[in-house]
A and B are shown apart, each in its own frame.
Chain A
Amino acid sequence: MCPQENMLIGLISGQMTVQTREACLAHLDQCEACRQRYQDLQATWDALGEWTVDAPQRDLVPAILADLKRSDARRWRLALAASIALAAGAGILAALAIPEKRPATVASEQAVHQLLADSFGQEGELLTAMLEAIVPAGSEDAL
């Protein structure tokens, strides 16, 4: 029986057991059509091998380590900022519970928002949103 295309590919790439290889070669000796298919495939295989690639010298390690340092620092900044936001939120909620402190609370809430924006840039906006989720705008009126 004539070998399938994959058998011929296996024969050419050397990915075949010795027994199968011998059986395949024995068939090729007797089958002109398969021998032609095999030779065509071998020629294509050899031609593909002409595409060699010489990679330009480059060490990726410095870029990878710098990237990891950046993401590590960002993670720490976010964790610190989240802690500040939580603490500030808790403080404002506590202040709101004391009626005579309300005007000061509004001012301190704005100051916290400004501090977060100044200190953490874009992440500050996220933290401000977190803070507002904890202490919704106008919540002092509800108390």
Chain B
Amino acid sequence: MSIHWVLMGDLEQPGESDAQLMRRVAGGDMSALTQLVHRHQDVVRRLAYRTTGRWDVADDIAQETFLRVYRAAGTYHPSAAFRTWLYRIVVNLCLDRARAARPIPLTEVVESGTSPAADQALIQQERVRAIQSAIAALPERQRMAVLLHRFENFTHGQIADATGWSESAVESLLSRAYETLRQKLKSWVAV
């Protein structure tokens, strides 16, 4: 696939579906690729960040994701939902990176103050850190299932499509993951 470095801004149609944009990308239309990146880059970066805990790594993953989207545009079939197809690429890249290095995501430390509001902020920050640590400590498949389910609102079926795991496997992973999280976060959670 050769690249046609043609500015086609005037031909952009904001209402186009992802599948329509992919057809244009397959024809070498870089403005269509630009639209796809702008449409999806934030969710891709967020998922990659939640998985790896680092924005620089998340940006690398997101960039590689869209490069793969471009290279695979010629073989993309609209029968597969673009979002699911895109997430499959992201999930694979995230799992590869997470296997190589698995940093625990950390929030920035806020200086403790003397006011009740500052104390409250500190407690809240510790809660979030406990949540991040509990998620980061999950086995990688459970972690990915929870990230997709809780933060990306994926159904079991969508998670199965995005990961290549069976739906029953996804159900099992989620059950175990939520049970582990419930146990670990018990002291932080007010019922």
Interface on A for B, CB 8 Å cutoff?
4-6, 9, 13, 15, 39-41, 43-51, 53, 55-56, 58-61, 63-65, 67-69, 72
Q: Which of A44, A50, A63, A68 contacts B181 (CB 8 A)?
A: A44
Assess whether A9 is in contact with B63, with CB atoms less than 8 Å apart.
Answer: no
Residues of A within 8 A of B38 (CB): 59, 61
| B16 beta carbon closer than 8 Å to chain A | no
- Asked, given contacts A9-B174, A60-B62, A60-B63, whether A47 binds B46 with beta carbons under 8 Å apart, the answer is no
Of A48, A50, A59, A67, the residue contacting B67 (CB under 8 A) is A67
Whether B171 contacts A6 by the Cβ 8 Å rule is yes
B-chain residues with CB within 8 Å of residue A60 when the two chains form the complex? 37, 41, 45, 59, 62-63, 66
Of A49, A51, A64, which one neighbours B37 at CB under 8 angstroms?
A64
Q: Secondary structure of the B side of the interface?
A: helix
Question: Given contacts A55-B49, A61-B34, A72-B3, are A47 and B174 in contact (CB under 8 A)?
Answer: no
Complex Cα–Cα for A95 and B50 (A): 63
Whether A50 lies near B55 (C-beta < 8 A) is no
B108 CB → nearest A CB, Å: 11
Question: Taking the complex as formed, is B141 at the interface, i.e. its CB lies under 8 A from any CB of chain A?
Answer: no
A41 touching B150, Cβ below 8 Å? no
Ordered by A's residue number, 19 sampled pairs between the chains whose C-beta atoms are within 8 Å are A5-B175, A5-B178, A5-B179, A6-B171, A13-B149, A41-B182, A44-B181, A46-B189, A48-B135, A51-B132, A51-B135, A55-B49, A56-B55, A60-B45, A63-B63, A64-B70, A67-B67, A68-B30, A68-B67
A5 to B182, CA, bound (A): 12
Asked if B124 and A50 sit within 8 Å, CB to CB, the answer is yes
Shortest Cβ gap from A58 to chain B (Å): 6
CB pair B191 A9 closer than 8 Å: no
Q: How far is the CB of B2 from chain A (nearest CB, A)?
A: 7
Residue of B nearest to A42 (CB): B191
